[in-house]
Each structure stands twice: as C-alpha cells, then as structure tokens.
A = this chain, B = another copy of it.
C-alpha cells in the first residue's frame, strides 16, 4: 500500500497506463505519461511499462505493445497482416528503390544536405526529397553553416513510426562492405572524402 491513499494502486495503474496508450493518437512517451500521471513516480510508471511490455510479448495476443518513435503504442501483430489486409482499410505504403535509398542515407547520415545525398547516390534527388517532405518522412532541420548555406535534412517521428523503430539508434547496423566479389587486396582506405565533407559537423543548430 502506498502512503498516499488517493493514488491509483499498482494493478490499477497498469490498467490506466494501458488505457492511455490505447487512446493516444501517437506513441506515448514515458515523459508524457509521467506528466499526465503526476501523482506517480516516474520509476513506478516505468516499471509498469516494463511489465506491460513483457506481458504482451508473451501473450501471443492479436494486439502487441511496441516501443516506437520514443514512445509506446499498441499495434496489431505483424504476423496477421494478411488477414488485416482483408479489411481493406487503406492501400499499404509502398516505396520505390530510390525512395528507400534516399531515406536510408538521410536516416544514417543526418543532418545531411541535398548535395551530400546526391554525391552518395550519384543521381539527382530533388524530386524524391520533395516527395519525402510531403509525406513527412523527412524534415528540414535548418541550414548548414557553410558557404551557400544549403538546407539540411533529417528524418521525422513519422519515419520512426512507419518503420516501427524505437529511435534512430535502433536502425539496423550499417554493414561495412569491403568487397563485392573477392576479398579485398588493398588495406582499407582511410577517411572517406564524404566523411570529411559531412564532418564539418557543425550543422546550424
């Protein structure tokens, strides 16, 4: 029993947290939950979230609790996608190779300018950037502190939500590819010029 009688009891707190996550329009962060449930310790809420995560993980239910975009959200179990498609709610999102490549580069290299993206891809990316901006998967972060002050881009919360990512750190690890066919003969090249150019790291922020 908690000293303050008016507080929600632990079992009930879990139920309240469940309701809040269910009703919220977007993934609900621990910060936000703590400010809504101000009577409770952050640590207490965190413990409840851990419990819920474990519980849903084990249950095999059709609803799963995921950590995504810095928050918690209920989603349908991905294995059931084929059945859910039959509800025909909306057309599933589809990406061309070029959009995916551009998104990947921005995700891993942000903040990044258009010129840097185009150097990496070897093709013009203006149209794709515009589309990704329209879809809110990327955003303008500001301008880079270099001559010409080019715009710099980064990914959005919507990007994380779309790809079910908890945060940017949970992006799949970039594989260093040394060779395509045969083992490399030369020792590894040093700094990429790219790293140098992106390495003026003070992006205007």
Convert A86-119 into 0s and 1s, putting 1 for each residue whose CB lies closer than 8 angstroms to a CB of B. 1101100000000000000000000000100001
Q: Tally A residues with Cβ within 8 Å of B.
A: 71
Is A5 on the interface with B (CB-CB < 8 A)?
A: no
A194 CB contacts on chain B under 8 angstroms: 119, 193, 203
User: Measured between alpha carbons, how far is A146 from B180 in the docked complex, in Å?
Assistant: 19
Residues from chain B with Cβ under 8 Å of A43 in the complex: none
Point out which of A15, A37, A119, A197 has the most chain B C-beta atoms below 10 A from its C-beta.
A15
0/1 interface trace, chain A 1-17, chain B, CB 8 Å (1 if under): 00000000001101111
Given contacts A87-B36, A172-B151, A194-B119, contact A60 B181 (CB under 8 A): no
Q: Which of B61, B124, B130 contacts A184 (CB 8 A)?
A: B124
A198 vs B37: C-alpha distance when bound (angstroms): 53
Q: Would A62 and B126 be within 8 Å (CB), given that A143-B170, A166-B204, A204-B166 are in contact?
A: no
When the two chains form the complex, which single residue of B20, B60, B192 contacts A119, counting CB atoms closer than 8 Å? Answer: B192
Q: A187 an interface residue at 8 Å Cβ cutoff? A: no
Q: Could you tell me if A164 and B142 are in contact, using CB atoms closer than 8 angstroms?
A: yes
